[in-house]
Amino acid sequence: MVITSEKNEFIKNIKKLSDKKYRYEKKLFFVEGKNSVFEALKSGFEIVHLLLAEDFNVDFQIERDKIVFVDEKVFKKISDTVAPQMIMAVIKMPKWEVNDIVKEGGFYVILDEVQDPGNVGTIIRSADAFNVDGIFTINNTVDIYNPKVLRSTMGSIFHLPVVNDVEPSKLFDVLKRNGIRILSTSLKAEKYIYDFDISKNAALIFGNESRGVNKYLDGFIDDSFKIPMDGMAESLNVSVAASICLYESERQRLIK
Amino acid sequence: MVITSEKNEFIKNIKKLSDKKYRYEKKLFFVEGKNSVFEALKSGFEIVHLLLAEDFNVDFQIERDKIVFVDEKVFKKISDTVAPQMIMAVIKMPKWEVNDIVKEGGFYVILDEVQDPGNVGTIIRSADAFNVDGIFTINNTVDIYNPKVLRSTMGSIFHLPVVNDVEPSKLFDVLKRNGIRILSTSLKAEKYIYDFDISKNAALIFGNESRGVNKYLDGFIDDSFKIPMDGMAESLNVSVAASICLYESERQRLIK
C-alpha cells in the first residue's frame, strides 16, 4: 500500500515533527536523504518508521513492518527541503546521560546559545571528523533535532553523543569532577591556541553568533586561548572557529 | 525628501540588483546593515548611493547628494533579509586584475564551483582573518556579489581582492609564472597538512560541496595534502575545510 494523501493521519503526525514542541512530546525526530538514513540504519538509534517512494529499490536491514511507502506528492509535503530525496526515517531520540559520556581524558564541545542551525550542524559534523567525545548544548542553542541542523550534520548526528539543552551548572560539575578543563576562545587571551595543550582533558565552549559566550558563565571557565588572526576581520564564523579548534586538538594528538 | 513608494523607479532598479544578470549589466551591487556599510565606507570601494531610514542619525563621511532617505516599508521591499537594518549602500564593482593581485610569495584561494552562498561568504571572511592575498572564483561558483554571500562575509569583501569568474587557464598561468604552487586537499594524499609547507607561495583550490574540485583541473594541481580526520565523518563542510587550511597557513607563518 502506498500513502497518497497528505491528509492521512500518519503523514500529518510526521509533518508535525518539524515543530520542536511536538518532537519532544513524542521523543521522535526525522532525517531525510539517503546518506542520513543509511547512517541512521548503521547506528544504534532506534528507527520507528522508514518512509520510501514506491520505486526505491534497495534492500534495507530493517523489519518489514517499519517500511511505509509514500508517494512523491506526499513526500514533498512533509519534507523540509525543496527537492526531497524520497527517503526519510523517523527515529527515537536517544537518552544520553552526561554522567555516562564524560570521562577523564576526554575532549568535549559545549554550545552556548548558538542560534543558527547550519552552524550547529556543521560543528557536529566537524566534531565527528576530529574525534570529539561528546557535544553538549546549553542555554537555548537551536535544537539538535531541527531538520536544518540534522541536514548540516551530514549523518554525523549518529556518530557521537550530542546532548540537547543540558543544565549548565550540572554539566560543569560533572566535567570538573572528571578533571576536564573548561576552555574558551577569546580575542583578549594571551596564549595562541597552538601553544596551548587542547589535545585532551578539555571542553571547549562556543557562544552565540553575535554575543559570544554568555557573560554569566565566566566564573566556570578555567582558561582561554586565541586563534591568531592578523587580517582585518574582527571575528570568525562560530562553526569555523570551533572547527579550527577541533582540528588543532587533533593535530596536537597526532604529533605527540 | 523620503522615498515612500515601492514603485519609485530608483527603488525598482535597486531591487533589481538582487538579480545577477542585472548586477553585471550595471556593474553595481548592494550591501545591507551597519557593519557592512561602515566597512564599505572605510574601503576604497566607490559608493554610489547610501540608503537610510530618515531617523538614522550618524554623520557619514560621504557626499550629501549620495544619501537617499527611504521609509521602512520600502526598505522591507528591497532588502534581502527578513528584518532589514534600514541602511544599505549601492556600490560600484571594483575592477580587479589577476595580474595585479598575484605576486611571488603570495597566498591565494581558488573556489571552483562552490555553490552555497554561505560557504563562499564564510571563506571570504576567514581569508580576511588569516591574511590571504586574494581569492579567485572559477567555473560557476556562486556570484560573490550575491546578497547572501555578502552577508556571510561580514564586511570582509571590502578587505581583500575577490575576483569573480576568472578564466581558469589564464589564472593558473599567472600563478605559475609567479612561482605559486596550486594545491588541493585530498583524502588520498599522503602528507598531512601540518607537515606540508603552505605558509606562502601557494594557491589552495576548493571545489564543489558534493563533487569536490572538477576532475579536468587535475593536470593543473601541483600537489595535495590531507586534513587529518580519524572520526567517522567522511568529509568536512567546504568552508570549514578551507578555513582550517587558512588557519594552518597562518600558524606556519607565525611559528617560523
CB atoms within 10 A of CB A199: 17
SS (H, E, C) A31-91: EECHHHHHHHHHCCCCEEEEEECCCCCCCCCCCHHHEEEECHHHHHHHCCCCCCCCEEEEE
What is the per-residue pLDDT for B6? 85
Is residue B85 domain-shared with residue B109, that is, in the same domain? no
Is residue A196 domain-shared with residue A228, that is, in the same domain? yes
Is residue A162 domain-shared with residue A37, that is, in the same domain? no
Is residue B78 domain-shared with residue B205, that is, in the same domain? no
Which of residues B92, B123, B142 is at a domain's end?
B92
Which of residues B92, B124, B149 is at a domain's end?
B92
What is the per-residue pLDDT for A2? 85
Q: Does residue A53 carry a pLDDT above 90? A: no
On whether any CB of chain B is under 8 Å from the CB of A44, the answer is no
pLDDT confidence bin for B2, thresholds 50/70/90: confident
pLDDT confidence bin for B79, thresholds 50/70/90: confident
Is residue B110 domain-shared with residue B237, that is, in the same domain? yes
User: Residue B127: its chain A contacts at CB < 8 A?
Assistant: 231
Q: Does residue B1 carry a pLDDT above 80? A: no
Give me the number of domains chain A comprises.
Answer: 2
Is residue B86 domain-shared with residue B72, that is, in the same domain? yes
CA distance linking residue B192 with residue B37, whole number of Å: 40
User: Residue B228: its chain A contacts at CB < 8 A?
Assistant: 130, 247, 250-251, 254
ipTM for this prediction: 0.95
Q: Which three cell numbers stand for residue A100?
A: 555516562
CA distance linking residue B89 with residue B17, whole number of Å: 12
Q: Which three cell numbers stand for residue B198?
A: 603552505
What distance in Å separates residue A121's CA from the closest CA in chain B?
Answer: 10
pLDDT confidence bin for B85, thresholds 50/70/90: confident
Q: Which residue has the cell 579548534?
A: A245
CATH, residue B45:
3.30.1330.30
Cβ–Cβ under 8 Å, residues A112 and A217: yes
Is residue A72 domain-shared with residue A172, that is, in the same domain? no
What is the per-residue pLDDT for B32? 94
Is residue A176 domain-shared with residue A192, that is, in the same domain? yes
What percent of chain A has a predicted confidence (pLDDT) above 70?
A: 100
Is residue A117 domain-shared with residue A220, that is, in the same domain? yes
On whether any CB of chain A is under 8 Å from the CB of B85, the answer is no
Which of residues B38, B66, B92 is at a domain's end?
B92
Cβ–Cβ under 8 Å, residues B186 and B225: yes
- The 10s digit of each residue's pLDDT in A103-154 is 999 999 999 999 999 999 999 999 999 999 999 999 999 999 999 999 999 9
CA distance linking residue A116 with residue A119, whole number of Å: 5
Q: Which domain holds residue B25?
A: 2-92
Is residue B58 domain-shared with residue B74, that is, in the same domain? yes
CA distance linking residue B235 with residue B227, whole number of Å: 10
Is residue B246 domain-shared with residue B185, that is, in the same domain? yes
- The 10s digit of each residue's pLDDT in B145-158 is 999 999 999 999 99
CATH, residue A160:
3.40.1280.10
Is residue B117 domain-shared with residue B57, that is, in the same domain? no
Which of A154, A159, A243 is facing B231, going by the closest CB pair?
A159
Cβ–Cβ under 8 Å, residues B99 and B81: no
What distance in Å separates residue A100's CA from the closest CA in chain B?
Answer: 20
